[in-house]
Chain A
Amino acid sequence: MTEIKHHAYLFDATRCIDCRACMVACSVENNIDMDKTRIWVAGIGIKGEYPDLQRGTMVYHCMHCDHPDCMSACPVGAYTKAEDGPVTYNPDLCIGCRYCMNACPFGVPHFDYDKGIIEGAFIDKCTFCPQRIYNGQEPACVETCPTDALEYGDREELIAKAHARIAEHPTRYIDHVYGEFENGGTSYLILSHVPFSELGLPNLPETPVNEVSEKVMEMTIPFALGWGAVLSGVAAGVNLYNKKKEEAATQQKEDAVK
């Protein structure tokens, strides 16, 4: 395998047979309960009419966005984006506000609703199996996939591969690689034979959804300083005006007395 500059997954919805081995592999590898798995599978049912029947399955886990919204939203910086792809979560910083769950357009971060403050309730999400990928192995879900519906590799190479596959079977696929540009680019790329919205994927622009809020946040400190200066100016001005008015009033009184 060549050296990977930007770790990424490629999922091909036409190849998935809904066996859910990836869910088991993930639970085993990361030692988490099956009902809290970091990867989950949804069948969209059978569509069309005989003989043109179609069925599709979608495998969801963290998209590992290039501009992660969870990371942008987290007040205490519990999320980090590695330069080579993975978005990781640090439970030692998490305060449990769940703003990341709101921010993520894909609904990825999960929260321990069944834990009190003694055990500690944390967020859980896909880590990209750092213990495996940095040791030359594939992530657990990819390694276990029997039909190569999930593949792992360098992002650029996978995008090229995906486009090549579309070119090879133009009738089978929709001519789009989901995740190439969505939300500013993600490290989980998806090929599909049905419209992506039918796979439950949100229709996102190429600009990351956190763009507006980050711009507003950039203006906060200059605005606060400016607003504070304006208010101080007004307060000083009013004070001065009132003093002058008082002086004038006393002056008038004195004049009147004279």
Chain B
Amino acid sequence: MKLNLTIQPRFRLNFSPLVWVLLTLMGIAFVVAMTRYIFGIGAISDLSYSYPWGFWISFDLFTGVVISSGGFLMAGTVYILGIKEFQPLLRPSILTAFIGYVMVSIALLVDLGQPLRIWYMMIHWNGTSVLLEIGICVMSYLTVLAIEFAPVVLERFPKLHNIAHLIHKFIMPFVILGVVLSTLHQSSLGSLLLIQPAKLHPLWWTPILPIMFFTSAISVGLAMIIFESSLSSRYFQRGLETHLLEKLAKAIPVVLVIYAVLKFGELAVAGDLGYLFTSGIMSILFWAEILIGVVTPIIWFSIKKNRTSPNGLLTGAIIVLLGMILNRFNVSWFAVKHPDPMFYLPTFMSNVSYFPTLPEVAVSIGIFAAGILAFGLAAKYLPVFEDEEEIHHQQA
């Protein structure tokens, strides 16, 4: 295995304006987080007895996890299905997933009331809790991702090539474990809401929520790979594997049609079709999510021209992401109705409505900024992007 490491730039930080902006956002988030740790969650957020989960859960947990699903999709495609041509997309996807999960974990440590006790999840198990499953899966999967990504770091150091080679040799069990863990917790995020049939609007509450979440996670993962490849090809001035992305783009409508059939089939079976037009703002949110996240991408990616042009690919991916992120916000926040405020007046100490505060959003943005910076640094100093020719060269 011969990697041309001489072309790698030396490790020297380059403080472009973008980096300064990112660092500032991170600094603000850090200060806000410290305030929260000293004075409590109420000091910086609008969370209340009626609304214990808000923006952090919808954005950091639900969105963060779903946009990191590209990692297991690519690992599964390349290693388990043995489709080696997708190799150039593998490392960037795993990096995105790894950074995504680290971001999720950091954000949850801000949201958690007792962040120092997060490890209790490893020893005190309550088997009926969906959240326990998610906690265990996310922790284990983070480890798996670290192992999958380790060779990329190790290759940077010529003396450690042996270890990289060793990991590569025994990667298969980890890939399988990673796919199983991902399947479990991507779907279990949906299961989290299963315990709220009385609170979640019937347009979203269904016993097959886990299946819906897993199906949509696949479409988001594919869109995210396209999105992330397109952006890095623009930002790092490198080639775009359009012929590979086209294949992913072709798969998106298939997944979304399955999603739509499941969604409307379930509504029909449960007899909830009436809510489609009679629930006011909920009906509007539902149709917004379906039109943006499902219908438009199906049409968009069915047109060959959109699949082959870099702009068409990026636009389509953004549409899928927007629609599905709206879905995650709907399920975890907008469509969750907590007990009627009138009767919660007696919890006079509590807010009866919820709207995220600026500091709350600032935490999420700061963590997101850190993620972008980490991706940029990794892309610059680690052999994340392998040129296709090089890979063919290696394999030969």
Tell me if A96 and B180 are in contact (CB < 8 A): no
Contact status of A216 and B342, CB under 8 A, knowing A102-B195, A122-B113, A242-B82: no
A82 within 8 A of B: no
Query: Measured between C-beta atoms, what is the minimum distance from A119 to chain B in Å?
Result: 8
Tell me if B126 and A102 are in contact (CB < 8 A): no
B43 within 8 A of A: yes
Chain A residue, CB-CB nearest to B118: A95
Q: Produce 1/0 per residue, A93-129, CB < 8 A to B.
A: 1111111011101110011111111101110000000
A73 within 8 A of B: yes
Give complex CA distance A76, B126 in Å. 5
Q: Produce 1/0 per residue, A213-242, CB < 8 A to B.
A: 110110010011001100110110011011
Q: Produce 1/0 per residue, B335-350, CB < 8 A to A.
A: 0101110111111111
Contact of B49 among A110, A202, A228 (CB under 8 A): A110
Tell me if B82 and A239 are in contact (CB < 8 A): yes
Contact of A121 among B113, B129, B135, B350 (CB under 8 A): B113
Give complex CA distance A213, B117 in Å. 25
Tell me if B37 and A95 are in contact (CB < 8 A): no
B38 within 8 A of A: yes
Tell me if A231 and B346 are in contact (CB < 8 A): no
Query: Measured between C-beta atoms, what is the minimum distance from B47 to chain A in Å?
Result: 7
Residues of chain A contacted by B197 (CB below 8 angstroms):
209, 212
Give complex CA distance A58, B133 in Å. 37
Tell me if B346 and A60 are in contact (CB < 8 A): yes
Tell me if B42 and A113 are in contact (CB < 8 A): yes
Task: Tell me the chain B residues, 112-171 only, with Cβ under 8 Å from chain A.
Answer: 112-118, 120-121, 124-133, 135
Query: Measured between C-beta atoms, what is the minimum distance from B112 to chain A in Å?
Result: 5
Chain B residue, CB-CB nearest to A208: B195
Contact of A231 among B180, B338, B348 (CB under 8 A): B180
Tell me if B129 and A202 are in contact (CB < 8 A): no
Give complex CA distance A60, B347 in Å. 10
Stretch from A8-16, A35-43, A130-138, A184-192 forming part of the interface with B = A35-43
Listed residue (A41, A58, A116, A223) with the most chain B CB atoms within 10 angstroms of its CB? A116
Tell me if A73 and B48 are in contact (CB < 8 A): no
Query: Measured between C-beta atoms, what is the minimum distance from A35 to chain B in Å?
Result: 5
Task: Tell me the chain B residues, 57-86 only, with Cβ under 8 Å from chain A.
Answer: 76, 79-82
Contact of B124 among A69, A76, A120, A231 (CB under 8 A): A76
Contact status of A200 and B131, CB under 8 A, knowing A77-B126, A110-B49, A227-B183: no
Query: Measured between C-beta atoms, what is the minimum distance from B91 to chain A in Å?
Result: 20
Tell me if B129 and A227 are in contact (CB < 8 A): no
Contact status of A111 and B184, CB under 8 A, knowing A210-B128, A232-B176: no
Q: Produce 1/0 per residue, B74-117, CB < 8 A to A.
A: 00100111100000000000000000000000000000111111
Query: Measured between C-beta atoms, what is the minimum distance from A194 to chain B in Å?
Result: 12
A204 within 8 A of B: yes
Tell me if B184 and A224 are in contact (CB < 8 A): yes
B199 within 8 A of A: yes
Q: Produce 1/0 per residue, A47-78, CB < 8 A to B.
A: 00000000000101000000001011111110
Contact status of A35 and B194, CB under 8 A, knowing A75-B126, A95-B113, A111-B52: no
Residues of chain B contacted by A110 (CB below 8 angstroms):
49, 347, 350
Task: Tell me the chain B residues, 301-354 only, with Cβ under 8 Å from chain A.
Answer: 336, 338-340, 342-350
Q: Produce 1/0 per residue, B376-388, CB < 8 A to A.
A: 0000000000000
A21 within 8 A of B: no
Contact of A76 among B52, B120, B179 (CB under 8 A): B120
B27 within 8 A of A: no
Give complex CA distance A96, B117 in Å. 9
Tell me if B80 and A75 are in contact (CB < 8 A): no
Residues of chain A contacted by B132 (CB below 8 angstroms):
75-76
Give complex CA distance A69, B131 in Å. 13
Query: Measured between C-beta atoms, what is the minimum distance from A108 to chain B in Å?
Result: 9
Q: Which residues of B approach A to under 8 Å, CB–CB?
A: 36-43, 45, 47-50, 52-53, 76, 79-82, 112-118, 120-121, 124-133, 135, 172, 175-177, 179-180, 183-184, 188, 191-192, 194-199, 207, 210, 336, 338-340, 342-350
Shortest beta-carbon contacts, A-B, top 10: A96-B113, A200-B343, A113-B42, A75-B132, A77-B126, A213-B194, A101-B52, A98-B52, A238-B82, A40-B346
Q: Which residues of A approach B to under 8 Å, CB–CB?
A: 35-36, 40-42, 44, 58, 60, 69, 71-77, 93-99, 101-103, 105-107, 110-118, 120-122, 199-200, 202-204, 209-210, 212-214, 216-217, 220, 223-224, 227-228, 231-232, 234-235, 238-239, 241-242
Q: Can you name 14 A-B residue pairings with CB atoms under 8 Å?
A: A76-B126, A77-B124, A95-B120, A98-B53, A102-B52, A103-B195, A113-B45, A113-B47, A115-B40, A213-B130, A217-B133, A227-B179, A227-B183, A231-B76
